[in-house]
Amino acid sequence: MLAHSNGIEDEPADESDGFAASGGILTVDLTALRANYARLRQEATGAEVAGVVKANAYGLGIEPVAKALWAEGCRTFFVAQLCEALELRPLLPDADIFVLNGLASGTEEAAARRNIRPVLNSLPQIRAWSALAAREGGRLPAAIQVDSGMSRLGLSGQEVEAVAADSALLAGIETRLVMSHLACADEPAHPANKAQLESFRRLAALLPKAPLSLANSAGVFLGPDFRFDLVRPGIALYGGRPLAGERANPMRPVVRLEARIVQLRHVPAGAGIGYGLSAVAEQAMRLATIGIGYADGWPRRLGNHIAAFAGARALPMVGRVSMDSIILDIGDAPLGDGDLVDLIGQNQDVDAVAGAADTISYEILTSLGRRFARRYIGESA
């Protein structure tokens, strides 16, 4: 096994395990994941570091990811929806699990029975959770989210004042966390960061005393003022760049994506290539078709202007991305049918792919499809 200084470990796939049946292989390095958690814990000294594992752990697999984070010492986890919390609970029976979107009406009892904690974002959610606590004859734990300036989720300033004025609203609720979310944390100089920090402090002071949380992945790197008692990294755990414009990514790469060559061909000068014949061979070319496409989450807009890699050699994509295939210009590269090429790896990380697609690394990871063979390596595999 060869280790690269700037890439995921290069460990050949075991074809005997059925990887040959897929068009691509998605490798997740759980050792790198754990190292990223440890790096964030070092950065956020004094604050608890939670793990955001919503959207199937950003597309990488909630079971292996959550268990690896637990092994590294993570004890608090965030998901977006109750269905995700219900999947996570049997995997980590002792974890604190919060549901960022809160609970749909009528699902409160299902959450309470499994010790799942809602993030209460509205007065109706607060009333429903408090009413359940009254019926149960006790108090139920929850987080309360305030809107500090993103206009997405959380109590408005007026609603926070209403809660502060009516102690009965929170009578049955044990406030385990007061939180908000930063809109522009990946741009450290953006004035919204300071404005949201001030707003969060003001609104949190009106609510019951509890641990505070504001920082996401990028927020961890904005400095101690933003970290409070708990930080909630997501993309940084999975190797994504936390801050826009930073040349050096402090996180280790977690993902490698390889695609299999399914056919080779030579075409003459003037041959049209791919749907719409959007590329035309200016000279005789040697082409390889690989077996993934937009049905696997590879953005269609990447046709004609990004490359795959064989080692350090770039293999430009030519023509449009199809549903199940992409065409590469491989020149005289020593490649044959069945060989694997890198789409995400040491020469092209997930942020580079996202930049070429005019999107963000979050979307690339969470779009990766079900047809990839998934392989987990590292000490927690």
pLDDT the model gives residue 247: 73
Catalytic residue among 54, 238, 294, 362: 54
Contacts of 146 (CB under 8 A, 6+ apart): 154, 155, 157, 160, 178, 179, 180, 200, 203, 204, 207
One-letter amino acid for residue 63 of the chain: E
Reported for 264-269, long-range contacts at CB under 8 A and 24+ positions apart, including other chains, are 264/288, 264/289, 264/330, 264/335, 264/336, 264/337, 265/289
Q: Is 170 helix (H, G, I), strand (E, B) or coil?
A: helix
Closest CA to 160 of 138, 130, 180, 188: 180
Q: Per-residue pLDDT for the chain (381 aa), expressed as one digit of tens each?
A: 333 334 555 555 554 455 778 889 999 999 999 999 999 999 999 999 999 999 999 999 999 999 999 999 999 999 999 999 999 999 999 999 999 999 999 999 999 999 999 999 999 999 999 999 999 999 999 999 999 999 999 999 999 999 999 989 999 999 999 999 999 999 999 999 999 999 999 999 999 999 999 999 999 999 999 999 999 999 999 999 999 877 789 999 999 999 999 999 999 999 999 999 999 999 999 999 999 999 999 999 999 989 999 999 999 999 999 999 999 999 999 999 999 999 999 999 999 999 999 999 999 999 999 999 999 999 777
CATH topology of domain 30-238: TIM Barrel (3.20.20)
Comma-separated ranges of CATH 2.40.37.10 domains in the chain:
255-377
Q: Nearest 5°: phi and psi at 265? A: -155, 155
CA distance 57 to 77: 11
194 is catalytic: no
Residue type, 134: A
Q: Provide CATH 3.20.20.10 ranges for the chain.
A: 30-238
In the three-class reduction of DSSP (H, G, I as helix; E, B as strand; rest coil), residue 175 is classed as strand
Residue 102 Cα distances to 80, 82, 117, 345, angstroms: 8, 8, 8, 36
pTM of the model: 0.93
DSSP state of 95: S
What Rg do the C-alpha atoms of the chain give, in angstroms? Answer: 24
Q: How many helices (H) and strands (E) does the chain have?
A: 11, 19
Q: Look at residue 262 and give its three-state secondary structure.
A: strand
> Are residues 30 and 61 in contact, defined by beta-carbon separation less than 8 angstroms?
no
The enclosing H or E element of 127 equals helix 123-136
Distance CA 318, CA 166 (A): 64
The tens digit of pLDDT for each residue in 47-97 reads 999 999 999 999 999 999 999 999 999 999 999 999 999 999 999 999 999
- Is residue 58 annotated as part of the catalytic site, yes or no? no
Largest CA distance in the chain: 79
Q: Which CATH class is domain 255-377?
A: mainly beta
Structure tokens at 43: 């950065």
Transcribe 196-249 into DSSP letters: HHHHHHHHHTTSPP--EE---HHHHTT-GGGTTTEE---GGGGT--SSTT-SS-
